[in-house]
Amino acid sequence: MPLVQNTTYNPLKILRNGHVQTLYPYFFRKVDGVDFKRYRLDTHDLDFVDVDVSSVNSDTVVILTHGLEGSSHSPYIKGMTKQFNSMGIDALAWNQRSCSGQMNKAKHFYHAASIEDMEHVIQFAINKLKYKKIYLVGYSLGGNVVGYYLGAHGAQIHSEIHGGVIFSSTIHLESTARLMRDNIFSKAYAESFLTTMRDKVVQKHELIGLDLNMPAIMRAKNFIDFDEQVTAPLNGFRSAWDYYKYASAVNLIEEVRVPFLIVQAKDDPFLDRGSYPVRQAHRSRYVHLEITETGGHCGFMDYRPKLQFWSEKRAVDFLMSVA
């Protein structure tokens, strides 16, 4: 499909700054009125995945995938939950491993291509909760997971899955890793993430013991260092670069066979050129790429930033129109 030329996102001038869009919702947004029921899913590797469901008694559900170090209680996840609930659609927000508030038991954490866990969640939604129609929505790293899942399954996707939308998605991992190592502003965001990521490694090491170079992990200054010492060895990759090459959804999005909207902001401090797949979108019948002038990373605030965000309305509008 061609690029979405006539984006409806037109925020107030005061909001047209990528760092404002990124930081304000993270620190100040509160979303009330969302009630989750938690389910714990046992996994084949004797671990668990926690999922939270907000039901309005629908046979249709949106499955929400959070970003790096987020959770089902991240404001952007709860905001999207509330928006779909208001349209009469259930929401299922799953927590990637180590993100639900309790450390998982297996040695590995989550990563950008954790589609086995996503498949487990989707099977639960279909077989146990009996949903007949499913939409997928993801943010940031979770957007890569959604895109990777849809591309990897291609035409063999579950018939219940009718479409997907992702926002601010790091679908070209190498360029994001380099940007957040080299750009002074992006580097500050990375350092914040690395603090919690290192803490989780220490917690798990104390819990089950990890055959990792713990001093090198504590010295990690960027995502490349961390992925070289943690993500790659725990998940069978030869190196951080091998992980980035394998797990980047941009390599698979032309295989997607359901309506799929990718929304990226030009001023996203986490994204470099590789995460704006113009060529792939032009060649695909299914991929819609919408590039907004502003929006930051997981922002897309509207003129009333404490209420509905533009991204939430955009996801509903797209999925209702095509799926």
Provide the CATH number for the domain around residue 144: 3.40.50.1820
Same domain, 243 and 254: no
Q: Give pLDDT, residue 119.
A: 98
Assessment of whether the complete model's pTM goes beyond 0.85: yes
Domain end among 196, 218, 247: 247
Same domain, 205 and 267: no
Q: How confident is the model at residue 278 (pLDDT cuts 50, 70, 90)?
A: very high
Q: Are strands 37-42 and 48-54 parallel, antiparallel or unpaired?
A: antiparallel
Same domain, 235 and 312: no
Same domain, 189 and 118: no
7 domain residue, yes or no: no
Q: How confident is the model at residue 181 (pLDDT cuts 50, 70, 90)?
A: very high
Same domain, 230 and 310: no
> Where does residue 215 rank: exposed (0-12), middle (13-18), buried (19+ CB within 10 A)?
exposed
Same domain, 198 and 147: no
The upper half-sphere exposure of residue 230, i.e. CA atoms within 13 Å in the direction of its Cβ, equals 27
Q: How confident is the model at residue 5 (pLDDT cuts 50, 70, 90)?
A: confident
DSSP SS3 for 109: coil
4 domain residue, yes or no: no
273 domain residue, yes or no: yes
72 domain residue, yes or no: yes
102 domain residue, yes or no: yes
5 domain residue, yes or no: no
Instruction: Judge whether 230 and 202 are in contact, CB under 8 Å.
Output: no
**What average pLDDT does the structure give for the chain?**
96
Convert the pLDDT of each residue in 230-273 to its tens digit.
Answer: 999 999 999 999 999 999 999 999 999 999 999 999 999 999 99
- Taking phi over 0 as left and psi of -120 to 50 as alpha, with beta for the rest, 111 belongs to beta
In terms of Cα–Cα distance, which of 229, 253, 227 is closest to 241? 227
104 domain residue, yes or no: yes
Same domain, 201 and 311: no
**Of residues 12 and 278, which shows the higher confidence score?**
278
> Where does residue 277 rank: exposed (0-12), middle (13-18), buried (19+ CB within 10 A)?
buried
Same domain, 40 and 141: yes
Same domain, 152 and 179: no
Same domain, 167 and 290: yes
Domain end among 247, 279, 308: 247
Distances from the Cα of 256 to the Cα of 97, 252, 261, 285, 288, angstroms? 25, 7, 11, 9, 11
Please determine, for residue 217, whether its predicted confidence score (pLDDT) is greater than 80: yes
Number of domains in the chain: 2
Same domain, 253 and 108: yes
Domain end among 191, 212, 247: 247
Same domain, 162 and 191: no
67 domain residue, yes or no: yes
Convert the pLDDT of each residue in 287-313 to its tens digit.
Answer: 999 999 999 999 999 876 567 899 999
| Domain region containing 236 | 173-247
